[in-house]
Chains A and B, each alone.
Chain A
Amino acid sequence: MTELEAGRAQTLAPARSGAALRRYRDVLIALIAFAVLASLPLLSGSKALLDFVIRCSAYGLFATSLNLLVGYTGLTSFGHGMFFGLGAYSFGLIMQKLGVPIPVAFVATLAITAVVAAIIGAICVRLKEIYFAFVTLAFQMLIHSTILSWASFTGGDQGLRGGIPRPAFLGINLANHIHLYIASCALLILGLLAMRQIAQSPFGYTLRMIRDNAARASFLGIDVWRAKLTVFVLAALFASMGGMVMALFVSGAYPEFAYWTISGEAIFINMLGGVSTFLGPMVGTVLLLLLNDTVTRFTEYHGIVLGIVILFFALGLRKGLLDFVAEWYAHRRETGEGR
């Protein structure tokens, strides 16, 4: 819808003020969302609820960043989980081996991720469609195998043992459950806001053009390779943030974080929530985690239940939940206007 609105904008000046207005609206929504999340511990004493939101932050950042590639640029990465794992491992190792303050480790992890993503991206984004998907998968398996074989450094298949130290900084003590919760919410909201800005910026629209017709974008003078590489690195950074939240939550990092099944889960989340709206992956995250947590309480045959759900979405709705809602809403508004 926003794309249509943008298309309708005829002159530059109103478009610019419209964009500024939208940006303020996004910031306002983010602030409200953060206020609601931050007040949750006051309303409910359930630690499980807070755990749930922390995990939603980790997976939400990860899945939404994948949507920057899949939904906005048309790059279906099967190996996005490598950056989730890379974030968790880099952060955990820096904290364990160097004992630096958490913000330093956070920034250093982002820097490492950016370098690795730039190298891997430079190779991958030249390729299209299935070739891109498979080369990203191959790199993911490379990183996973490295973690497994470099046991003296990464702990091999046992993961990073002994817990991740969480020294307090600026009065924030991440070893405290509430502090960790607030920090995770803040990272989620900031991450989502930043990704939203990327998606709504001129660069974001360039990505959409590349998705729809890369040749045309190229003829218009856009360096397609550079744009794809940029978004690949940006998406990796947010996935890495998700990995760090997860590492803090479980106080460790495990090879499973870099395995292809994690990438699969992110793709599953995107299918559940939908890729045509910005918040689709976030909705998908909540859905998947809620389904996972409730179903595993009652049965060990959760695979069957989740399989049926995905079949329902793939064959029944033929789109993600939020896509479906958005279309239904648009349809209703249209018919309402027609009346």
Chain B
Amino acid sequence: MTRTRTPGISRRSTLALMGAGAMTFAAPWVARAQAKTVKIGMPTILSGRVAQLGTSSRNAVMLEVEKVNAAGGLAGRQIEMVIRDSKGQPQEAARVARELVNTDGCELMIDAEASSGAFAVHEVARDLGVFCIHTNSETSALTADPKQHIPNAFRTARQGVHDSIVGGSYAAAIAKAKGLKKWATCSPDYAYGRDTTAEFTLYLKRFAPEVEIISESWPKLFQPDYTEVVTKILQAKPQALYSCLWGGDLTSYIDQANIYAMFGQMEVFAVNMADYTALTVVKNLPKGIHSGNRYIKTFPTTPENAAWGDAYKAKYNEYPTNWSWENATAIMLMAEAAKKANSADGKKIAEALKGLTIKCPFGADGTVTMRGDDHTLVGYAIGWGTTIPQEPYVPEVKAGDWKTIFELEAEWKKSKGYA
């Protein structure tokens, strides 16, 4: 009996699909009908393991876009964000980015993708010539490598090499003061983990030549069990440990290492600890872990930064992440550049953005600059401090020195053949 009905269902679902397809291809005409607003496309990761970071990027962008729109928009045009999930897959990120420009009529782009996705969107920006700000990729090569350079792409994220210089000099000072000579490392086994650890130890040894790495562990990304890693480190008996584990990996690592009372036996330097996604999730946050700042509302210690963190918390009922400030900065820079160029046109914004310095709650001295020659953000707040188990979690952060960063960065670029 049911068999006689099945063709009907098939026809109906076919019709529904055709309708959906028609909508996909009709979208450009709908888009062009509202040309007064300026559309900014934003591929990011809204599902899967790092969805929390993608969502926090979206939140921060929306928070800033509301302010810009209330103040009159980009050169008089209201901003409309078109934010879409890339699932963290580079081919999807590329597809979504192309769709945002070609179908949805987005004139500007914020690329809130991580690692490989950012490089995929970068190729789309190269191909289509659309103005694009990378907000989340910390891979230095994205802007440092001249082969990657295109006039229409910028980056407002922190950078691996900056973090390593500041982290290395901070750790070296403590190593000297406390006589920490034997070091171990424990970082995730992929490009970010390997590169960041190599750069950190490079600068640590530069500032404190007597340091020796006696043990290296490379747990897999998203590894659930760290027992073997923890016991390996304990057996090596180092005086200090460096780790660039992040997010859920870092919190499960700390929870498991706590069982072995590891944190009482050595100084721990975990660059990604001071982010609310890690700080608020760890069950018993040990006192005295050294960490770089990711986003923390107490650093820089300005009322503007605290107010921004509180406004975000009030609106979304959670603290911002590292990705949040990077995305908020992108909108702030875009708005200022559009004001300077008196246009929402991508080419003119790109021109105005080169070398632009703006007031910003996340700046080391209250301002951040989009460096003209390699299109990357400099002057942002960067520093290291130690944790306490309750708010404000990292009460005092020692700021990194941008003069040193610039010197060593130039040297690093030369050694890589980038400059």
Which of A's residues lie within 8 Å of B, judged by CB? 44, 46-49, 51, 55, 148-149, 151, 155-159, 161-163, 175, 246, 249-252, 254-257, 287, 290-291, 293-294, 296-297, 300-303, 317, 321, 324-325, 328
Contact = CB atoms under 8 A, between A and B. Distances in A.
A50 B87 CA distance: 22
A20 B115 CA distance: 52
A256 B90 contact: yes
Given A161-B119, A302-B47, A257 B91 contact: yes
A251 B24 contact: no
A292 B409 CA distance: 43
9 contacts: A158-B119, A249-B91, A249-B94, A251-B126, A255-B116, A256-B90, A293-B24, A294-B20, A296-B92
A262 to B, nearest CB: 9
Given A254-B91, A256-B89, A156 B191 contact: yes
Interface in B1-49: 6-7, 10, 17, 20-21, 23-25, 27-28, 46-47
Interface in B39-88: 46-47, 51, 84-85, 87
Interface stretch (B96-104, B266-274, B309-317, B400-408): B96-104
B318 interface: no
Given A296-B92, A303-B47, A325-B10, 19 more contacts: A44-B25, A48-B27, A48-B102, A48-B103, A151-B194, A157-B190, A159-B116, A161-B119, A162-B147, A163-B126, A252-B94, A252-B119, A252-B123, A254-B116, A254-B120, A255-B116, A290-B21, A302-B87, A324-B10
B145 interface: yes
Q: Among B23, B139, B190, find the residue whose CB has the most chain A CB atoms closer than 10 A.
A: B190
A170 B98 CA distance: 28
Given A159-B116, A296-B85, A51 B10 contact: no
B95 interface: yes
A255 B120 CA distance: 12
Contacts of A51: 95, 98-99, 102
A290 B119 contact: no
A300 B46 contact: yes
A328 B7 contact: yes
A46 B25 contact: yes
Contacts of A163: 123, 126
Q: How many of chain B's residues touch chain A, expressed as a range?
A: 35 or more
Contact of A47 (B94, B98, B190, B191): B98
Contact of A158 (B23, B46, B115): B115
A338 to B, nearest CB: 16
B284 interface: no
A251 B127 contact: yes
A303 B51 CA distance: 13
B308 interface: no
A297 B91 CA distance: 16
Interface of B, helix, strand, loop or mixed by DSSP: helix
B84 A297 contact: yes
B298 to A, nearest CB: 32
A229 B85 CA distance: 40
Contacts of B257: none
B192 interface: yes
Interface string B226-262: 0000000000000000000000000000000000000
A157 B194 CA distance: 11
A302 B95 contact: no
A101 B25 CA distance: 35
B223 interface: no
Contact of B25 (A48, A246, A249): A48
Contact of B145 (A162, A175, A246): A162
A290 to B, nearest CB: 6
Interface in B118-135: 119-120, 123, 126-127
Nearest to B117: A254
B148 interface: yes
B128 to A, nearest CB: 9
A50 B123 CA distance: 18
Interface centre among A46, A47, A159, A250, by most B CB within 10 Å?
A250
B306 interface: no
B102 A47 contact: yes
B21 A46 contact: no
B358 interface: no
A222 to B, nearest CB: 39
B93 to A, nearest CB: 9
A176 to B, nearest CB: 11
B332 interface: no
Given A287-B17, A293-B99, A300-B47, A161 B148 contact: yes
B141 interface: yes
Given A156-B191, A251-B123, A300-B46, A161 B85 contact: no
Among B25, B27, B47, B119, max chain A CB count under 10 A is at B119
Contact of A297 (B24, B98, B116, B123): B24
A47 B25 CA distance: 9
Contacts of A159: 90, 116, 119-120
Contacts of A47: 98, 102-103
Contacts of A324: 6, 10
Given A158-B191, A290-B21, A254 B102 contact: no
A49 B28 CA distance: 11
B224 to A, nearest CB: 17
A143 B84 CA distance: 30
A208 to B, nearest CB: 27
Contact of B190 (A48, A156, A252, A303): A156
Contacts of A249: 91, 94
Contact of B96 (A155, A257, A296): A296
A149 B194 CA distance: 10
Contacts of B147: 161-162
Contacts of A296: 84-85, 87, 92, 96
The 10 closest A-B pairs by CB, nearest first: A156-B191, A300-B46, A47-B102, A254-B90, A48-B103, A251-B123, A250-B94, A294-B20, A159-B116, A300-B85
